[in-house]
Structure 1
Amino acid sequence: MSVSLLIIIAILASIGLGYLTKANIGFFALSFSYIIGSFVIGLKPNEIIALWPMQLFFLFFTVTFFYSFAAADGTLEKISMKVVYKCRNHPYFLPITIYLLGIVLSAMGAGLYAVLALLVPLAIILAQKSGMHPLLAALAAAFGASVGSNFMTSVGGVIIKGLIVNGGFIEQASTYTLQVFLNIGIYYTILLAIVYFVFKGHKTKKIEVERPEPFTKAQKLNLYILGFVVLVMIGPAILYAVIPNSFLKMINAKVDIGFVTVLASVLVILFRAGEEKKAFSAVPWGIITTICGVGTLIGVAVKAGTIQMLAAWVGDSVPGALVPLVTLLISGSMTLFSSGYGVVMPTLFPIVPQLAQITYLEPSILYSLITIAIFACGVSPFSSGGALIMASMPNDEMRKKYLPILLFVFPPLNLLLGLVLTYLGIFIH
């Protein structure tokens, strides 16, 4: 058995064992990293430890730590209720409002899972009050969270950029990350329009919502600091695009989301706008362990030449015109039963550089296709997004009714839409 085949089996075994035992996939991946790396490839333990994706770990930890403050004190929830209150007299616009709200909250850095956990239950409650189809409400929230979570200041955007940097596209990383965000925005806006029409969103009725309480002093401080982070992250980039000069280029190059959120966290603590212990406890250590554990195993795969072998196989065996289809199918199939950010991206993003060379497809398109497939199949009840939607349903009858739709209808149709948009040349690259 070749080393590359052994590593592929190890990746699949890590996912399977994690799924069967409900344990963290990252620990299985780290175990295989040590066994294969040390006893098969001959790496020293220190060399295996060095494969731990430290930059990705740092970025993910610092970003989630900072945004935990705004989630813990109810700032994000109050933003949601205020927006819903504003559009109470325009019910037909409610699904679109939920979608836009999901984008904004995720793009502000709350991340996919935090916004899903906050917004999906709220959306379904609003659906019950307004007569809106519950799947339309839940999917609008999920679509918005999916788009915003890939913005450069949010957790998903941080992961995407980190993986792209690890793939060797250091100078192009920001551009590719932005293109992934824009492409998934195009994809979900079109998908929402289709879902809105199918589920008759224009027939949503007027709802009664109580006026939300004003922001507390601590919540206002959190809002100001959130605004500071967004301004620092996107301000220099916008200015440099409008007025390109060496000074703005230098400032833009020095801006780092990890260190910016560290400074922002210090401001929150100094102004007593949040509790440090609560923020630490809210950091998603499980997903961090999964991402970095799988990332370490992928590092062993790179050392063994497995990534190059996979890219070469796709390039040699799959006609160039079918590469987008194969990319979507592989990414989507993996996402049905595993984490997109934790498993699929760390596994598939590393093959993009060589696959782009072999097939002459733009790397940004390949990154976008993997990301789109992840979210297209993320509505599966066995994946994080679909599981949260099912958990938010008010009763078992609704869960049984909509489970087959989320499992067998939406994933293939979503992938088909991604494929059509790809071949039509709609996506930005």
Structure 2
Amino acid sequence: MSAQVIALLALGGVFLVATVTSVNMGALALVAAFVIGGLAYGVPADDVLSGFPGSMFVILVGVTYLFALAKNNGTVDWLVHAAVRAVGGRISLVPLAMFLIPAAITSIGAAAPAACAITIPVALRFAQQYRIRPLLMSMMVIQGTTAGGFSPIAIYGVIVHGVTDAAGLPSNPGLLYLGTFGATALLGVIAFLTLGGRDLIGRRDETDSEPLPASAAAGEPPSGPSTPRRPGARGVATSAPAPIDIAQASRLTLERASTLAALLVLVVATLVFDLHVGMVALTIAVVLTLVFPATARTAVEQVAWSTVLLIGGIMTYVAMLEEQGTIDWLGRGIAGIGVPLLAAFVLLLIGAVVSAFASTTALLGAVIPLATPFLLNGDIGVLAVVVALCVSSSVVDCSPLSTMGALAVANAPADQRDKVFGGLMVWGMSLVVIAPVVSWTVLVLPAS
């Protein structure tokens, strides 16, 4: 068996083991890089570690550090409740708000599971209050979370642009953001129309201007014991969050206003002046910490270290594969299919299937390089394939076997969990097939 085959089987084993156990995929990938690098390729550990993505490390730490500050000082809560208040008594707009809120949170740099975990308890409590199907609200939150995930300063977007730049492929942050946002928004519309949203049109609730009780806003049941912990995908455990003081969450303090201004500075600095998003976010986070130290004490602990480890490990392993020519070897094999359009479709299908069960974050860093050999030939639109791959790999996160789908099931009312699980399973597995077909037809085919 060749070294290339051994290395690729090991990568598949990393995805499989991380899917069925609680071991961090990045840690597994680093171990695999050390073992496979030494045994299959004869590469010393120092050379393996030279592929660790230092720039990506700074970006992930800086962005999630800033988001942790925004969460600690209540800026995120303020954004959530400001959006909910804007709905007024129009119940049909509640699902829309539950789409836009997580989209905004992930657009400014939050990790997708974190944004979902913040929003889903509130969304499902509103579903109970306004008699909206929990499955509809779950789909709106999950697709909204995905919609913002590919902004130029969001984690998914940063990963994709980092991988494409490293591979020498052209990138267009704005096009990627608009393309993925449009696809998830379309899914949101379909979910709204097919899961009971039409029945909400015209309904009003004159009492919705009253604030929810703290326990309700936090996603807790109206009475009785707190929601038990329920295992999610890949060892994720969820539970009802602590009660929220609605009056306090709705107050725009100096610290929250400063944080909102800081987030605006981040957007302008990175999009207009093309500054390094990680360094800008880290600089802003340090300034906020110095000015408002009281709420910043635990922010560093809340940095998405597991995501940093995951991305660092996967990209280190992929860098080793690239250095040893394995990625080119596999890419040539896919390109050897002889038909670039068919090769692109195979990649889209691989992305959708794997992402429905494993980490989308890790997948984006591992699969995109596979497309490099045949994309560089110029026979097919590079940006179209990248956007299609991102769409196919992300919209399937509504599967209850993924982290966000599991969060929705765990936070659903006890008597609705089976229905939510079954509904998300149908949507997720359907999208595994539909998303690659549609994205290939709409995006890839016209660009060939």
Letter in 2 for 1:351: L
Letter in 2 for 1:133: R
Distance 2:393 2:138 in 1: 18
Listed as ranges, the matches of 1:67-106 within 5 Å are 67-106=67-106
Q: Determine the structure 2 residue equivalent to 1:240.
A: none
**Aligned mate of 2:423, from 386, 405, 409:** 405
**Aligned mate of 2:320, from 300, 303, 313:** 300
Q: Determine the structure 2 residue equivalent to 1:196.
A: 192
Q: Determine the structure 1 residue equivalent to 2:437.
A: 419
Distance 1:102 1:276 in 2: 23
Task: Tell me by how many angstroms 1:423 deviates.
Answer: 1.3
Q: Determine the structure 1 residue equivalent to 2:252.
A: 215
The verdict on how the C-alpha distance between 1:290 and 1:423 changes in structure 2, with shifts beyond 3 A counting, is same
Q: Determine the structure 2 residue equivalent to 1:248.
A: none
Distance 2:38 2:295 in 1: 42
**Aligned mate of 1:278, from 298, 301, 320:** 298
Conserved 8 A contact 1:315-1:358: no
Listed as ranges, the matches of 1:230-245 within 5 Å are 230-234=267-271, 236=272
Letter in 2 for 1:210: E
Listed as ranges, the matches of 1:338-357 within 5 Å are 338-341=358-361, 343-357=362-376
Q: Determine the structure 1 residue equivalent to 2:116.
A: 116
Distance 1:206 1:324 in 2: 47
Distance 2:367 2:301 in 1: 30
Q: Determine the structure 2 residue equivalent to 1:244.
A: none
**Aligned mate of 2:280, from 250, 260, 267:** 260
Distance 1:125 1:301 in 2: 46
Distance 1:257 1:263 in 2: 10
Task: Tell me by how many angstroms 1:339 deviates.
Answer: 0.6
SS of the equivalent of 1:195 reads helix
The verdict on how the C-alpha distance between 1:122 and 1:209 changes in structure 2, with shifts beyond 3 A counting, is farther
Per-residue Cα deviation, 1:50-70 (whole angstroms, up to 9, x for no partner): 011111112111111111100
Higher helix share: 1
Distance 1:282 1:195 in 2: 33
Distance 2:378 2:158 in 1: 27
Q: Determine the structure 1 residue equivalent to 2:21.
A: 21
Letter in 2 for 1:183: G
Task: Tell me by how many angstroms 1:27 deviates.
Answer: 1.9
Task: Tell me by how many angstroms 1:319 deviates.
Answer: 3.2
Letter in 1 for 2:8: I
Establish whether residue 325 from structure 1 lines up as the match of residue 325 from structure 2. Answer: no
| Runs of 4+ that moved beyond 6 A | 426-429
The verdict on how the C-alpha distance between 1:351 and 1:426 changes in structure 2, with shifts beyond 3 A counting, is closer
Task: Tell me by how many angstroms 1:320 deviates.
Answer: 3.1
Listed as ranges, the matches of 1:368-379 within 5 Å are 368-379=387-398
Query: Structure 2 regions of 5+ residues with no counterpart?
Result: 212-246
Per-residue Cα deviation, 1:170-189 (whole angstroms, up to 9, x for no partner): xx44x2x3222111112112
Letter in 2 for 1:412: S
Q: Determine the structure 1 residue equivalent to 2:157.
A: 157
Q: Determine the structure 2 residue equivalent to 1:363.
A: 382
Conserved 8 A contact 1:183-1:428: no
Distance 1:274 1:179 in 2: 39
Q: Given the two structures, how large is their TM-score scaled by the length of structure 1?
A: 0.88
Query: Structure 1 regions of 5+ residues with no counterpart?
Result: 237-251
Q: CA RMSD in A?
A: 2.2
Figure out how many residues of one structure are paired with residues of the other and give that number: 406
**Aligned mate of 1:385, from 400, 404, 411:** 404
The verdict on how the C-alpha distance between 1:308 and 1:180 changes in structure 2, with shifts beyond 3 A counting, is same
The verdict on how the C-alpha distance between 1:305 and 1:274 changes in structure 2, with shifts beyond 3 A counting, is farther
